[in-house]
Amino acid sequence: MTAPIIAQHDVAFFDLDGVIYLGPIAVPGAVQGIADVRAAGARVMYVTNNAARSAEAVARHLTELGFTAGPDDLITSAQVAVGVLAEQLPAGSLLLIAGTNNLSRLAEAAGFRTTDSADDEPDAVLQGYSPTIDWRVLDEASIAVQRGATWYGTNDDLNRPTDRGLVPGLGAQLNVVGSTVRQQPIVFGKPHAPMLDFAVRHTHAQRPIFVGDRIDTDIKGGNRAGMPTLLVFTGAHGKRDLLEAGPGDRPTFIGADLRALLEPGRVATGEGDVRSCGAATVRLHDGSVVVEGPLDTEAAQLDALWALATLVWHTGADATGALALLDRLR
């Protein structure tokens, strides 16, 4: 039998929102799945773009949900942002913080002075996600950037998944400032290089894999870092997003959830207008995509989806009708 995906990796990096939990609840199967990944001999590290909470607070939340986790098992975009800025800016630089108290505390612990007023003439603006952002803070950030402060963002996710659905993320808050100052911030989180470069250095990973639910941050970030990626369908992105992914945004593997790491990776074969995966075959016939094979289980539909994705990426075919057949997948 072919070895499971995780057998080839020494460290598994996991996104949190949409992979491990959805707000106050764990993703079904995630607690046991993480335990099984550890039992297989891989180190588990959580890598999140969410800068709102401290690593200690996130670790407590994970523990409450049934995971074994401590602050050392977490890397946040806030930690990475402050760490990089501590290397680049003079000691004691003044930062206007547009985010939560967690971001302010991290900055102050790194030797920065902080403010919430553009009139204090800050050297830089550091913006991080806050679920209760005050509009006045966005005003101050905008004014500071217009006056010459360098603008940084911990991440630029446009939205984030919750147990109730998608809600605006930091990317949406950055766009409020960006539409005013007509420039873009320097960003540290996925898919930008600093986040996963830091994660690899921190863990001394030799054969890492990244598991995420977002193509534009998790998968793109892992691909840019040169590591295999697993896209799971428990959070932000679904089957249509997979088919629409550009060449640099396509995952190495797909799975219903993170437990796919404990199974062999799907492999699509074929050429031209035909692709097969498992018992599924998809072909382009007279301009339409035809799906052949059983579709009565989630696993069978994932096989068909992987075959379909590789065909669409090669041919650019319209797979709308074929996607409708995969009704067990979101």
Rounded to whole angstroms, the Cα distance separating 186 from 89 reads 14
In SS3 terms, 76-99 reads as EHHHHHHHHHHHHCCCCCEEEEEC
Is residue 108 within 8 A of residue 56, CB to CB? The reply is no
268-297 CB burial, b ≥16 within 10 A, e <16: bebeeebbbbbebbbbbeeeebebebebee
| Residue (of 185, 197, 237) closest to 213 by Cα position | 237
Contacts of 105 (CB under 8 A, 6+ apart): 54
Query: Secondary structure of the chain: what % helix, strand, coil (to 5)?
Result: 40, 20, 40
Residues involved in catalysis: 15, 17
Cite the DSSP H helix spans in 156-284. Answer: 170-181, 193-203, 220-224, 239-244
- The dihedral region occupied by 270, where left means phi > 0, alpha psi between -120 and 50, and beta the remainder, is left
Rounded to whole angstroms, the Cα distance separating 246 from 224 reads 13
Rounded to whole angstroms, the Cα distance separating 92 from 85 reads 11
| Six-digit token string for 41 | 């001999």
- DSSP assignment letter at 219: I
Q: Widest CA span of the chain, in angstroms?
A: 67
- DSSP assignment letter at 123: S
Burial of 164 per CB tally in 10 Å (0-12, 13-18, 19+): exposed
